Chains A and B, each alone.
Chain A
Amino acid sequence: MPGSITRYIAKRLVFLTITFFIVITINFILPRLMPGTPVDYLARGPSLTTEERLRLIREFGLDKSLWEQYILYIKNVLRGNLGFSYKYYPQTVMDVIMSRMPYTVFLLGISYTVATIIGVILGAYAAWKRNTKLDTVLVSLAFATRSMPIFWLGMLFLYFFGVVLGWFPLSGALTPGQEYASTFEMLIDLLRHSILPMTVIILFLIGPPLLLTRSLVADALTEAYVRASMAKGLPPRMVLFKHALRPVSLPLSTYTAILLGYVVGGAVFTETVFNWPGVGRLIYEAVMRRDYPLIQGAFFIIAVSVLLANFIVDLIYAYLDPRVRLQ
């Protein structure tokens, strides 16, 4: 029925919008809850001239009533005006974040995809070989990475592969001051820089999909249809990946969507350790400088990105699961 899917999408849209405004509201309220005036937090860049300071105060109406400030704040945010960064002044918060965004998307996009695929395959194998040595090793791996701080794992990698062995560069995404003869050469340099942080994020992200797939597939393997396909003489690999894994794909896709926030957390730490010029590292820099507009801006952009990603996953989910469509 087309009606129910429209209603489903509308519902998700309403949720998206409400959450969007809640994030804006959090950003609005936080500096105003703290001791001191909001001007102290939002318009106190050390390098800000008095004129610019006054202009910011006017733009955000910081001398007006709270309600007017709120309306003005929403208007500004919707226009993409998140104020100026203290640290990167005269760049705006939006410009700073957008210049960093591609690096994070690159790093996370690849590691997240790879980690999910490897995690699902390993999880399926672990379920297939339940209670064998392989299973124990894989589950221990998932446990170990679950209790390990990701930044420490990053520091170990950096220390052994970067400092001791000298195989990989220690920081950044590209060699500073390097002239590239071709785009290909630049890509190679980028790859050399990204191998360590990517490996760390992948190790960090493998655990959850591995454990979930393992338990879901273990359940599926006891089902009659799996036994039937085995009795039919299908090769085990086919049974595992074509039959046992299929019903698992739906809960897995919702689950990996939930993981998005977790992924972002991993990025903050990994980028900080490897000095990766992404949004995660930017948050760290902003915190170090107590650059409040930048902290808030990064929070806003990241939250909105995750929100949108979730919304897209919801849509895909509705497309994949007839129960959502036909309800």
Chain B
Amino acid sequence: MSLKASELVRGLREFSIIIRYNRKSVVGLIIIVSLIALALIAPLIAPYDPYEITGAPYEPPSSEHLLGTDDVGHDILSQLIYGSRTSLLVGFLGALGVVAVGVLIGLISGFMGGIIDEVLMRLTDVVLVIPYIVFIIVLVAYLGPSVWNIILSITVLGWPTIARMVRSYVFSIKNSLYIEAARNFGAGSLYIMRKHVIPGLIPLILPVYVLTVVDSILTEAGLSFLGLGDPTKPSWGLLLYYAQIRGAFVRGMWWWIIPPGLMITITGLGFLLFGSSLEEYFNPRLRRAGTY
């Protein structure tokens, strides 16, 4: 499918409306863009290799180590900067997996109906009712702590709400007149899917995707904090895990405790603000009811 220039222009115009319409989205977007930039140029601005011993253990902040060093002598600031890579990677890919599986199951359930729909929806109920965090801890404990296993586990467990949403969307349009008209003109299922269903899904899915990024980032941080993070990749959750178990508290090392959590919170807030303003833009009813 080639993107026509006019469509591109229209997309850009819509985008600029979102930005102008809502100051929240600007703040969110600025946070997101700066973080992506930070992740991309991490090797350029990080003062040290995050996992190289560049100082004595437990050094307080100094001009050489702005946020001090950890129990081994790794530079904390460098770990913090590199940590943005892990968070964003898991955030973007985890959410992508969740949305992909959710949309797929929602579409199948909605269009097939009948017994397939029934089975898939009961499966959705089951996954929803099993406590997410505990389930994902068990999965990663077995799969082994790696970034890819975390992304995989997020994908496997995170899809149900999106599947439900997509399914009810499909139900709402399945029997509508314009779909029937298209069918009567001889349009095939794939054509209808591409021309009518998917375009209608995008405003529904886009905000959910952005909001799911928040959940994925928090999940990764949480798993890492419990010692299930990828030990080879610095991450904010991992920093907090080491701070917790290697005695940052008794040493009063607030510079080891505060920055990583602050980064997670700011990142989460950025995606949350952007996602919820997208939601308001695509769903004007929210604006009136003032959900956010």
Contacts and interface: CB of A to CB of B under 8 A. Distances in A.
A34 B225 CA distance: 24
A151 B289 CA distance: 33
Contact of B260 (A19, A31, A152): A152
Contacts of B264: 147-149, 152
A139 interface: yes
A156 B258 contact: yes
Interface string B244-284: 10000110101001101100110111011100000000000
Contact of A30 (B131, B142, B226): B142
B268 A155 contact: no
A272 B134 CA distance: 13
Given A15-B122, A155-B243, A306 B222 contact: no
B228 interface: yes
B81 interface: no
A163 B249 contact: yes
Nearest to B123: A22
| B: contact size bracket | 35 or more
B265 A149 contact: yes
Interface string A261-294: 1101100110011000000000110011010100
B122 A215 contact: no
Interface residues of A, number: 62
Nearest to B240: A152
B249 to A, nearest CB: 6
B261 A155 contact: yes
A85 interface: no
A58 interface: no
A299 B132 CA distance: 10
B131 A260 contact: yes
Contact of A295 (B132, B141, B286): B141
Interface string B119-149: 0001001101111111101110111000000
A159 B130 contact: no
Nearest to B143: A34
B249 A170 contact: yes
Interface of A: 15, 18-19, 22-23, 26, 30-31, 33-34, 41, 127, 130-131, 139, 143-144, 146-149, 151-153, 155-156, 158-159, 162-164, 170, 211, 214-215, 218-219, 258, 260-262, 264-265, 268-269, 272-273, 283-284, 287-288, 290, 292, 295-296, 298-299, 302-303, 306-307, 310
Ranked nearest first, the 4 interchain pairs of A and B with the lowest CB-CB distance are A147-B268, A265-B133, A152-B261, A261-B131
Interface of B: 122, 125-126, 128-135, 137-139, 141-143, 214, 218, 221-222, 225-228, 237, 240, 243-244, 249-250, 252, 254, 257-258, 260-261, 264-265, 267-269, 271-273, 286, 289-292
24 contacts: A19-B126, A30-B138, A30-B142, A34-B142, A127-B290, A143-B272, A147-B268, A147-B269, A148-B265, A149-B218, A149-B225, A149-B237, A149-B265, A151-B225, A152-B260, A152-B265, A155-B244, A170-B249, A218-B291, A219-B289, A265-B134, A287-B141, A287-B226, A298-B134
